[in-house]
A and B are shown apart, each in its own frame.
Chain A
Amino acid sequence: MAATDRTALALFVVIALLAFALGIHFARKNAPESSAPVEGMLWPSPPRLEAFMLDGADGKPLTEEVLAGKWTLLFFGFTHCPDVCPTTLSTLREVTSLLKDSPEFAKNGQVLFVSVDPARDAPADLAQYVGHFDRSFRAATAPPARLAALTSQLGILHTRVKLGSGEDYTVDHTASVLLIGPGLERLAVFSAPHAAPDLAARIRQIIEFLQD
């Protein structure tokens, strides 16, 4: 390599690094700030949900298209989860009932439960599981790679942990409830623990804020 080539390469590397650092700087500057009108809301620049494809409990593929035009409350869990998952799904049933007087949510609201334990939760079995809480609830799961296409973009973590000496395991998982807007905007992340009146109030505020 000639000396001038090496200088050119070095210059290129320096410029690339500078551009990268500047990029980070501006990305940070434009990141959603604490100016969000509602706690948990990702505002003013909510990230957009990217394409994914899960296996719906109804036997059909469940893609981002199922969320388009809807206000979706999204929760991740698994059926061998006797405490947090049923508690949260019961809370979400209460939330949807509290939001019956929001014409927008009553018309276009939905709840989607995604199992992060596809090894034990077959899509078809999830229909009965969520139906136990509310017949309108949707559910889906997918083999690890397709599941990750959704969980990784949303920052949903899930890890298998052995229980006792047998084959049993549990899954540590992010217990947040996410609100996805009709334009597939990731509008909010509500952290656990969840209380129905508080969740309903915050969702109502976000819908009203966006519809003003």
Chain B
Amino acid sequence: MKMAPILLPLLLAGSLAEACEGLVVERQWIREAPPGARVMAGYAELRNEASSLLVINGVESPGYFEHTMIHETQLVEGRARMAPRETLEIAQAATLSLAPGGLHLMLMQPVSDLALGAEIPLTLQCGESRTEVRFLVRASAP
């Protein structure tokens, strides 16, 4: 490990890449899936505490979901559509909200049923860096 010991607590076991610089994730949760639903959505507040633009360009959760994407729900003339987003850009000191009806992490084909209260590791990708965060499965927003 080339990381300074002080950084170690910021890293979660098993992740070798550096964490996304400045990324702070709060109020993260995954909506509990109704029985039979094969797609879930993850929400969070993403804050950028670094002194430069933070660009998130992917999310993954191998072992929990077969397919994951960044999505945005858009309402156009009364119609809801989910559009994939390549990146999420967060300005210095800004907070980006992933919330119902808007930006979300699209979590498709869960490998098993994820019960209420389960903690699911999701990895946010920022270029070569990776931050792993545990998302709690909840019935509604924290």
A interface residues, Cβ below 8 angstroms from B = 79-84, 86-87, 90, 125, 128-133, 157, 161, 163-164, 166, 168, 170, 172-176, 191-193
Contacts and interface: CB of A to CB of B under 8 A. Distances in A.
Interface string B28-44: 00010111111111000
B14 interface: no
Interface stretch (B2-10, B17-25, B47-55, B74-82): B74-82
Given A82-B31, A128-B35, A193-B101, A172 B108 contact: no
Contacts of A128: 34-36
Contacts of A166: 67
Chain B interface category by residue count: 20 to 34
A82 B104 contact: yes
Given A83-B101, A163-B69, A175 B80 contact: yes
Nearest to A90: B140
Contacts of A80: 37-39
Interface in B78-100: 78-82, 84, 100
A129 B127 CA distance: 38
Given A129-B34, A131-B35, A175-B80, 14 more contacts: A79-B38, A80-B37, A82-B40, A82-B107, A84-B101, A86-B31, A86-B34, A130-B34, A133-B34, A157-B79, A163-B108, A168-B108, A174-B79, A191-B78
Contacts of A191: 78
B79 A172 contact: yes
B67 A164 contact: yes
Contact of B41 (A83, A130, A192): A83
Contacts of A125: 35-36
B69 A173 contact: no
Nearest to A120: B38
A129 B71 contact: no
B106 interface: yes
B37 A173 contact: no
Contacts of B40: 82
Contacts of A163: 69, 82, 84, 106, 108
Contact of A82 (B37, B67, B75, B79): B37
A174 B80 CA distance: 6
Nearest to B71: A83
A84 to B, nearest CB: 4
B34 A175 contact: no
A153 to B, nearest CB: 16
